[in-house]
């Protein structure tokens, strides 16, 4: 009988020490509700009308981060935008004149919503490629809290467009994809 109690006690200690039969997996990090990221794959064939001149070989990617300030009710009160742009395969010496977010679904054009904030002559792709073009904390009157919420809710209805000296109407475009 004494052996029975020793075995029972040992099993109880082992079961308690193992945390029971439920296994716990690590929890995923909680996303920051005040930061929303988008990407866009930039191609000349996405421009309307498509680019067929020397810039037609250009490519790029844009990463756009909305940094949100929220009011006590959780609604967007203000937004500042961080942009990172990588461009490649453009002709050597290509001057990037501006880069910005526009409203418009694929195949449709729209007016500018918020520009990356490039200065005149700031970006010249000496060898046709430049990575890590970055602007942070960019604001614009047109990117109201309501407009920012619409971009967040409907990113495919917005696109990022890079304009060059050769193609002032746009040289490479990509629809926004929320990450």
CATH number at residue 46: 2.60.40
Q: Say if 17 falls within a structural domain.
A: no
Rounded to whole angstroms, how far apart are CA atoms 158 and 160?
A: 7
Q: Say if 25 falls within a structural domain.
A: no
Would you place residue 32 in the very low, low, confident or very high pLDDT band (cuts 50, 70, 90)?
confident
Exposure b/e, 9-39, CB count within 10 A at least 16 = b:
eeeeeeeeeeeeeeeeeeeeeeeeeeebebb
Would you place residue 7 in the very low, low, confident or very high pLDDT band (cuts 50, 70, 90)?
very low
Q: Say if 90 falls within a structural domain.
A: yes
Q: Say if 54 falls within a structural domain.
A: yes
**Quick check: 18 pLDDT over 70?**
no
Would you place residue 121 in the very low, low, confident or very high pLDDT band (cuts 50, 70, 90)?
confident
- pLDDT at residue number 11: 47
Would you place residue 29 in the very low, low, confident or very high pLDDT band (cuts 50, 70, 90)?
low
When divided into structural domains, the chain yields a total of 1
Q: Say if 4 falls within a structural domain.
A: no
Decide if 100 contacts 117 (C-beta within 8 A): no
Rounded to whole angstroms, how far apart are CA atoms 99 and 41?
A: 13
**pLDDT tens per residue across span 80-97:** 999 999 999 999 999 999
Rounded to whole angstroms, how far apart are CA atoms 56 and 50?
A: 8
pTM score, two decimals? 0.82
Choose the weakest-confidence range: 18-32, 66-80, 93-107.
18-32
Q: Which domain holds residue 138?
A: 32-178
- pLDDT at residue number 26: 65
**pLDDT tens per residue across span 122-148:** 999 999 999 999 999 999 999 999 999
Q: Say if 45 falls within a structural domain.
A: yes
- pLDDT at residue number 137: 97
Half-sphere exposure of 79 (CA within 13 A, CB side): 26
């Amino acid at each position: 009988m004494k052996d029975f109690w020793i075995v029972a006690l040992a099993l109880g200690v082992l079961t308690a020490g193992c945390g029971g039969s439920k296994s716990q997996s690590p929890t995923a990090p909680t996303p920051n509700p005040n930061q929303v990221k988008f990407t866009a794959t930039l191609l000349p064939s996405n421009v309307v009308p498509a680019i067929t001149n020397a810039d037609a070989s250009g490519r790029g990617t844009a990463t756009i981060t909305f940094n949100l300030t929220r009011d006590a009710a959780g609604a967007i009160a203000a937004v500042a935008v961080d942009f990172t742009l990588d461009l490649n395969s453009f002709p050597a010496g290509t001057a990037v004149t501006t880069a910005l977010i526009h409203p418009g679904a694929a195949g449709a054009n729209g007016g500018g919503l918020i520009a990356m904030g490039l200065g005149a002559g700031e970006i010249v792709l000496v060898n046709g490629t430049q990575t890590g073009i970055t602007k942070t904390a960019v604001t614009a009157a047109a990117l109201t809290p309501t407009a920012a919420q619409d971009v967040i809710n409907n990113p495919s209805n917005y696109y990022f467009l890079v304009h060059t000296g050769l193609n002032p109407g746009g040289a490479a475009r990509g629809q926004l994809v929320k990450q």
